[in-house]
C-alpha cells in the first residue's frame, strides 16, 4: 500500500468532515491497508466491495453516506470503468425487452423469507408515507391509501398495477376500495407469493413485461418500478400507459428520481443490488410525458424514504437470526450496506422520491392535490 494512496483518501474524506480511524459515528475504521488503493482505483464499486470483504467499518453507514453525498465526493473519484459503463448505456438499450426479467431473477427472487422479515405486514417495497405515521406498518398503509385517494378510486374500478411486487397495493385497493386489480411483475417469486396473499380477492397477478399489456383500465399505478425502465424506454413506457388508460382515467407514477440526469446507476448498486437500473430526472420524465399526458400533480416526499430504509434495516438486522441459514455473512454486510447507504442518500437529498399524477386530456375543472 502506498502512503500516497492513504494520504489522498484522507484528503478526500476530510472534505466531507470524515476522519480515518476517528471516533465519531460517521468516521471510517480501516482494517486492511489495501483499502486505500482499492477505493482510488475502483471508486464507489471498490468502496462497497471493500466493506463486503470486511476491510473497513463505520458505526453509522447512513451518516457516513450522508456526509459523503452532501460534500459531492461522488464526483471526486471517477475510475475508468465508470466511463465504459456510461458509454455502454448510451450506445445500447440495456433495459430492452429481452432483458426485462433480469431484475426479477437477480433481486426480487432472492428469497421471499428475506422480504417477509424486512418489510411491513403488507410487504410494500416502496417508500412509506410518514406524515402522521409512527410505525412502518402505518406508514405503508398511509401510502397505499394516499395512492387510492389520489386516483379517486371507486368500487368496481379496474386498475393496472405495473410492477406490483407481492401485491400490496392490489390487495389494499381490493379490500378497502372494492377495486379490481391486474398486477404485473417480472419476478416469479413475487407472482407465487402475491397470488397467495391476494387469494379470494378480485386481483390477478401476472408474470408479464409492461410492453405486452394491451387492455383498457380505469386507472394505472406504478409504485417503484420505473427505476428499472431505462431512459431509452421512457417514451415507450408512457405510450403503453396511455394506450391502456381510459380517456378519463388517471395514472399515478411513484418513482425514485435523481436531481441530475444520469446515464447509469451507482456501479456498486448496479452490480450487487439493481442490475440495469437507472434513476430518472425531472427533465427525462417531462420529455417522456410531453404530448402523451398532462401533468396534474408532482409530490416530493423524499425524506420519508430515509425513515423507510431505516425501518427496513432495523427489521432485517433484528430478524437476521431467523433467516441467516439461507444467506452468508457477506450477504449480511452487502444488504446492510445497501439499505443504509440508500438511507444516507435520501437524508442528503441526493436521491428524490416523487409521486406524479398524470391524465390523458387534463382533468376538467382541475385536479385537487392531496397531501
Find how far residue 286's CA is from the centre of its chain.
20
Query: What letters, b where the CB count within 10 A reaches 16 and e where it falls short, cover 339-371?
Result: bbbbbbbbbbebbbbbbbbbbbeebeeebeeee
Q: What is the Cα–Cα distance from 139 to 44, expressed in whole angstroms? A: 31
The catalytically annotated residue of 58, 148, 164, 342 is 342
Quote the strand ranges of the chain, DSSP E: 29-30, 56-57, 158-162, 180-185, 203-207, 217-223, 245-258, 294-300, 351-359
Pairing mode, strands 351-359 and 203-207: unpaired
Q: What is the Cα–Cα distance from 174 to 187, expressed in whole angstroms? A: 21
- Residue 66: active-site member: no
Q: What is the Cα–Cα distance from 195 to 8, expressed in whole angstroms? A: 53
- Which residues touch 205 (CB under 8 Å, ≥6 apart)? 164, 167, 170, 182, 183, 184, 185, 190, 191, 194, 195, 198
Angle between helices 329-347 and 35-52 (to 10 degrees): 100
Is the Cβ–Cβ distance between 56 and 30 less than 8 Å? yes
Instruction: Please calculate the CA angle 103-281-123 and round it to the nearest 5 degrees.
Output: 40
Three-class SS of residue 315? helix
Place of cell 468516521: 27
- Which residues touch 9 (CB under 8 Å, ≥6 apart)? 20, 35, 36, 39, 40
Q: What is the Cα–Cα distance from 296 to 255, expressed in whole angstroms? A: 16
Place of cell 408532482: 298
Q: Which active-site residues does the annotation give? A: 342
Amino acid at each position: 500500500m502506498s502512503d500516497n494512496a492513504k494520504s489522498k483518501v484522507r484528503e478526500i474524506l476530510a472534505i466531507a468532515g470524515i476522519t480515518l480511524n476517528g471516533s465519531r459515528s460517521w468516521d471510517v475504521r480501516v482494517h486492511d491497508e489495501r483499502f486505500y488503493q482499492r477505493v482510488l482505483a475502483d471508486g464507489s464499486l471498490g468502496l462497497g466491495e471493500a466493506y463486503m470483504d470486511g476491510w473497513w467499518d463505520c458505526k453509522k453507514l447512513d451518516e457516513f453516506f450522508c456526509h459523503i453525498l452532501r460534500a459531492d465526493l461522488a464526483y471526486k473519484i471517477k475510475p475508468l470503468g465508470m466511463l465504459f459503463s456510461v458509454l455502454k448505456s448510451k450506445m445500447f438499450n440495456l433495459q430492452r425487452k429481452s432483458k426485462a426479467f433480469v431484475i426479477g431473477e437477480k433481486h426480487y427472487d432472492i428469497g421471499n423469507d428475506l422480504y417477509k422479515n424486512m418489510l411491513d405486514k403488507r410487504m410494500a417495497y416502496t417508500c412509506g408515507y410518514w406524515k402522521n405515521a409512527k410505525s412502518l406498518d402505518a406508514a405503508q398503509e398511509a401510502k397505499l391509501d394516499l395512492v387510492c385517494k389520489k386516483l379517486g378510486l371507486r368500487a368496481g374500478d379496474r386498475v393496472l398495477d405495473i410492477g406490483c411486487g407481492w401485491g400490496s397495493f392490489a390487495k389494499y385497493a381490493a379490500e378497502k376500495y372494492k377495486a379490481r386489480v391486474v398486477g404485473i411483475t417480472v419476478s416469479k417469486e413475487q407472482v407465487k407469493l402475491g397470488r397467495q396473499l391476494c387469494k379470494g380477492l378480485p386481483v390477478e397477478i401476472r408474470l408479464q413485461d409492461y410492453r405486452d399489456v394491451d387492455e383498457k383500465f380505469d386507472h394505472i399505478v406504478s409504485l417503484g418500478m420505473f427505476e428499472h425502465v431505462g431512459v431509452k424506454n421512457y417514451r415507450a413506457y408512457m405510450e403503453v400507459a396511455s394506450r391502456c388508460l381510459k380517456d378519463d382515467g388517471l395514472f399515478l407514477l411513484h418513482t425514485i428520481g435523481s436531481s441530475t440526469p444520469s446515464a447509469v446507476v451507482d456501479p456498486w448498486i448496479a452490480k450487487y443490488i439493481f442490475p440495469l437500473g437507472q434513476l430518472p430526472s425531472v427533465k427525462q420524465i417531462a420529455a417522456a410525458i410531453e404530448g402523451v399526458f398532462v401533468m396534474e400533480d408532482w409530490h416530493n416526499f423524499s425524506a420519508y424514504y430515509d425513515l423507510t430504509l431505516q425501518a427496513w434495516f432495523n427489521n432485517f438486522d433484528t430478524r437476521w437470526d431467523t433467516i441467516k441459514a439461507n444467506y452468508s455473512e457477506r450477504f449480511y454486510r452487502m444488504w446492510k450496506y445497501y439499505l443504509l447507504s440508500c438511507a444516507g442518500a435520501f437524508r442528503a437529498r441526493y436521491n428524490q422520491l416523487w409521486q406524479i399524477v398524470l391524465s390523458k386530456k387534463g382533468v376538467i375543472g382541475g385536479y385537487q392535490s392531496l397531501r
